Amino acid sequence: MQKISGKTSNRPFLWIPTLYMAEGLPYIIVNVVSVIMFKTLGISNTDIALYTGLLYLPWVIKPFWSPIVDLWRTNRFWVLLMQLFIGAGFACIALTIPLPNFFRYTLAFLWLIAFGSATHDIAADGFYMSALNSHQQALYVGVRSTFYRLAMIVGQGLLVIMAGYIQNHSGLEAYHLHVTAAPVASVVQEIPHPDSVATTSPLPGDLRIIASADTLQIPIVSRSAQQIAAWRQQVDTWNHERGQQHEILANRQQEDSDKPGWWEKQISRPLAAWIRDQFGPKTSQAEIDKNGNLGIIYFQLSAPPPFGKEIVLNFGQESRNPDIRLILGNRFVFTEKNWNQPAGALIQLDPKLKKQTDTDFITRAGNIPLSWVITIGSAAVLFILLWLYHTFILPVPASSQAHSGQSIAGVLKEFKQPFVTFFQKKTIGRSIAFLLLFRLGESQLVKLASPFLLDAREVGGLGLTTGQVGLVYGTIGLIFLTAGGILGGLVAAKFGLRKMLLWMAFAINVPDLVYVYLSHSLTDNFILINLCVSLEQFGYGFGFTAYMLYQIYISRGQFETSHFAITTAFMALGMMLPGMFSGWLQELIGYQHFFIWVLIACLPVFFVIPFLNIDSKFGIRENSEK
């Protein structure tokens, strides 16, 4: 039996749960929570998907520096060092979120945390094997995976819910607008001239939202396309002249338009134009000839915000009514420069509307940067506490110095062999194709699922709050994901991988249909949204079992551990590359067409599966193992 020093050597239950919480939490914050954070902070889907997609890279290339973890010091040392490093990284993100150029700074620290997390994964898995004997490794594997999943619920669920709660209970008091569409109105509202909107004098200590009306009545009459276009252009120009652009995005877009490179001029722009023309949302001739009437509401602040701060107003429907929709002005940014310059939002009626109807809109001005400062800061505190706890509780395995006497040249010489033997495996090309294509659709869906849930219905999203997304996607969804994974393991153990592979491929891909339904229905039924997301997550958990089993299957033999690490690199690569362009594509063709594209992207793997050679008995428990 392996010798382990320290009082905790026979009590692995004291450190395995917290060790794998520490392994899962930074991964989910870097790759999932960051998407939600940037979306609520006003970053575009294109930039979110591109830059957060690149954050998978450290997990792709981590096999290349794993010898360093073995060569220098111990796995225990690296675990503790990386936990302190990750905690400091989260603290730096929390400090940089309020800054004007927060996007570049937070991305830089997320990159550092991603490398630290990937290194922590190597060290933690190595420590698990060195600190436990074979019986203990098998005994605690369930605890290990359970607390890794729990870390996902804490990060993607509880932390996001915390951010949503702070957003709903901070900042300015919400403003409610009641809109009525009526066949007859005493006054036909026209778009007023900018000079007719009065500004407000500063009222110290009385910072609140001011709107031009508490109720808005829009007559049910038709407008020509020329009238609609003219009014929309007038309000849009008016808003832009009054500073209603997100500073970071506005600067980047201006730079892009001023200095387009060869790639953009020759490839990106022509390709984007063709995709938009072929697959983008279409406007029918009837919609062009006949348009619903418009109403306008103006917003400003009663006083300037604190120096250097900005107040972000998010305006959208509180109770969904498809006959009344917001077409312009769902987000406004007020500073000490433009706080008293009214910004307009345009509300349009459905041209087919005949009878009176009404709906409610709400303007929220929660302190979004503060919510993420507290949330990410809490993660930093948690990691510092984990580092302190593990400093005293982690045992010191007697075998922890196994590589201390080995030279760098010796380690590098041995390091080449696993790669050579991996790529010499029979049918390795088919195996790599399977690893890259199995989640081709899911890799794009996962980057846009949260933005779709968060985006206003007026731009094709479901209009959920940050807290609701934390509940539906990060808590309930993850519970169903875990349940699907457990059931998938039981089914695979009974029938074997070969027999279940095709069915599990269907299970992970077909439930993506729920997003096609949600994007077309734009339902506001929160229970139905939960059911749809839970179905997709359950199928993902069930189907992903086949992927993990296939990784194990092709890793068997000499250098088993190294070969499995290489398969995880291909797994991360298969998530990274498609995810990077998914936001760009979605913004070109809209959510409805994007989710149809996701289904199309699911098809290639079904052409690869018939050519995989899998032992029919692999995965089935034999009698001797019962």
Q: Select the more confidently predicted residue: 373 or 257.
A: 373
pLDDT of residue 552: 75
Contact 343, 332 (CB under 8 A): yes
Cα angle: 535, vertex 540, 544; to 5 degrees? 155
pLDDT of residue 187: 44
Q: Select the more confidently predicted residue: 257 or 443.
A: 443
Write out the CATH class of domain 1-170+368-406: mainly alpha
Indicate whether 172 pLDDT > 90: no
Domain ranges of the chain: 1-170+368-406, 172-253+282-365, 413-614
pLDDT of residue 268: 56
Indicate whether 400 pLDDT > 80: no
Q: Select the more confidently predicted residue: 277 or 611.
A: 611
Indicate whether 491 pLDDT > 80: yes
pLDDT of residue 70: 64
pLDDT of residue 152: 80
pLDDT of residue 140: 63
Ranges 176-185, 217-226, 262-271, 534-543, most confident? 534-543
CA distances from residue 616 to 362, 386, 428, 544 in whole angstroms, order as listed: 58, 44, 19, 19
- The proportion of the chain whose per-residue pLDDT surpasses 70, expressed as a percent, equals 79
Tell me whether residue 16 is exposed, middle or buried, using C-beta atoms within 10 angstroms of its C-beta: 0 to 12, 13 to 18, 19 or more: buried
Indicate whether 5 pLDDT > 70: no
Mean pLDDT calculated for residue range 16-34: 88
Which band of pLDDT confidence, cut at 50, 70 and 90, is reported for residue 7? Answer: very low
pLDDT of residue 625: 45
Indicate whether 401 pLDDT > 70: no
Q: Which CATH superfamily is domain 413-614 in?
A: MFS general substrate transporter like domains (1.20.1250.20)
Q: Tens digits of per-residue pLDDT, 381-399? A: 999 999 999 998 888 776 5
pLDDT of residue 532: 92
- 1-170+368-406 against 413-614: fold identical: yes
Contact 292, 353 (CB under 8 A): yes
Facing residues of 298 across strands? 344
Q: Which of 483-487, 515-519, 555-559, 573-577 has the lowest mean pLDDT?
A: 555-559
Using DSSP, state whether 551 is helix, strand or coil. helix
Q: Select the more confidently predicted residue: 185 or 425.
A: 425
Mean pLDDT calculated for residue range 210-237: 83
Which amino acid, one-letter code, is at 481?
L
Alpha-carbon gap, residue 172 to 553, rounded angstroms: 56
Mean pLDDT calculated for residue range 347-375: 84
Mean pLDDT calculated for residue range 191-196: 50
Ranges 92-96, 139-143, 617-621, most confident? 92-96
Q: Which of 5-19, 135-149, 223-237, 509-523 has the lowest mean pLDDT?
A: 135-149
Contact 452, 519 (CB under 8 A): yes
The pLDDT mean for the chain works out to 78
Which amino acid, one-letter code, is at 295?
G
Supply the DSSP string of 230-290, one letter for each residue: HHHHHHHHHHHHTT-S-HHHHHHHHHHHHS--HHIIIIIHHHHHHHHHHHSPP--HHHHH-
Tell me whether residue 101 is exposed, middle or buried, using C-beta atoms within 10 angstroms of its C-beta: 0 to 12, 13 to 18, 19 or more: exposed
Q: Tens digits of per-residue pLDDT, 278-335? A: 665 655 444 445 678 888 888 888 888 877 777 888 887 777 677 888 888 878 888 8
pLDDT of residue 254: 36
pLDDT of residue 613: 83
Cα angle: 150, vertex 152, 156; to 5 degrees? 130
Q: Tens digits of per-residue pLDDT, 579-598? A: 888 888 887 788 888 898 99
Ranges 61-70, 79-88, 492-501, most confident? 79-88
pLDDT of residue 106: 93
